[in-house]
Structure 1
Amino acid sequence: MHNFQRPSGRPAFPLSRFAFLGVTLSLSATLAGCAMTQEGRPVAASHAAGSVYQASGNEPFWHLTLAQNTLTLEQPGKAKLVRAVTHAQGLSGQRIYDAQDLKVVVEPKSCSDSMTGRTFAESVSVTAQGQTMQGCGGDAQGLSSLNDTRWVVIALNGQNLADGHRPPTEKDRTTDQPAHDSSGPMMAPTLDINATGKVSGSDGCNRYVGGLVFGTKGDVKPTKEGGLSTLMACPGVHDDMANKFKNLKQAATQWHMDGTTLVLETDDKRTIRLRQVF
């Protein structure tokens, strides 16, 4: 079994798989999108707006999301599968989600990543077009340090970023390059934390280096930004998002995990929410 964490320096998808952020799937039958079969009890086939359940595995690499009654499976070199959930049930402690040519089984059994040793709460089996793959989902356990991790912003003080839920590409690392088309789709800000807790990334418009140092068990300290930051002008909403991210980042004083989502918080309770990627 495998989870989504990666040591610093590993290449991005398609050569790696992703950390999952989002929330653990609810078993409540009262949520919208529930489906029933005769064999089991109903479970939620969708969740609250903006929430995304993620799972992944490797050998072969795959990445799965469940959001708004829709399963999305991505694999290197293959077409993305996007399927509506047709049946969702709980059976013998498992949560089972069926779609047209896709089946997902989530089991409440701990799952360990052979690459990082990280343990996650759930084991996930995905069967797509006749092939069954194994991986991990659910909450990460025992995270006390953020060193050597990479993150992408999914929400700025309660405002969800649609682009924050797609797998980052190398374009996220080069938004300050002359060839970058700043009028294109919104780039979600990113946060890379190195082995000593120092940060770098993209604010969605420009590269930045420094500004924060992460300690263990929730500690965050401000620092000066380094000399490698860029100063490209970005139009309209791109600039607004970049400025909002920068202001919140500079004001952050603590961090905590909400399931698999990293939350940076200011003294006046404003937040940045991020999901982990590798």
Structure 2
Amino acid sequence: MTDTVTPSDLKARHRAMWASGDYPAVAEVVRPLGEDLVAACGVRTGQRVLDVGAGTGTAAIAAAAAGADVVASDLTPELLDVGRRAAAERGVELSWKQADAEMLPYDDASFDVVLSSIGVMFAPHHQDAADELVRVVRPGGTVGLASWTPTGFIGQMFATMKPFAPAPPPGAQPPPLWGDEDHVRALLGDRVRDVRTAVRTLPVTAFADGEAFREFFASRYGPTIAVRRALADQPERLAGLDAALRDLGDRSLDADGAMGWEYLQLVATRA
């Protein structure tokens, strides 16, 4: 019998997944992506900005520091709580709102800039999320995205985990597809113009070897934690997953002990 997953069940699972482990520690590693995206979008004083899938607010806080009126939205309130504290420590003010990227609680054309740094890519229904991004930005406004590519390191990590993971619910799409330019262009369609893209690489020097990478993600990163929990009563398969992740980490370190995490940065204007 096929396990039926309702939309509310799926959202609850996603909230629990991202609240597990220690995602704020992961966010610190990838903080430059959000800061670079804010710069690429030309965020400035007086603009109204929405960060979708904001997590702990790496992009949202940078946008607020640039002088914008910012709303950071995310499905997982625990991450927003971390972001509130980080913003207070930095001395910037912005709004924090629990919200579903596939059903944003904002009026049409409410924002000058709508952006997402490795956030909206994890909404399971890509077209629904893309439609919302476009809907809430004003004509002439900016849509900015930073997403892991399918062929880059994080995309390879998801591919490595896939054979060990439970089957996704019907209709759910793989997150790294948002790092494929053709896929994102198709999602946004002719509702945007002046699309500017760049495939960039985040240098990561946080891991001495593949085992250090495996241990970090196994204990801190929600998607990896969820797959490992599903294998709790299958020790041989769990060991196989750990070995595969360890090998990926070792293969991805260069001679100087650095990894390159590839991502797609896309900035477009709402038509």
Structure number with higher relative contact order (C-alpha < 8 Å, ≥ 6 residues apart): 2
TM-score normalized with structure 1 length = 0.26
Larger fraction in strand:
1
Larger fraction in helix:
2
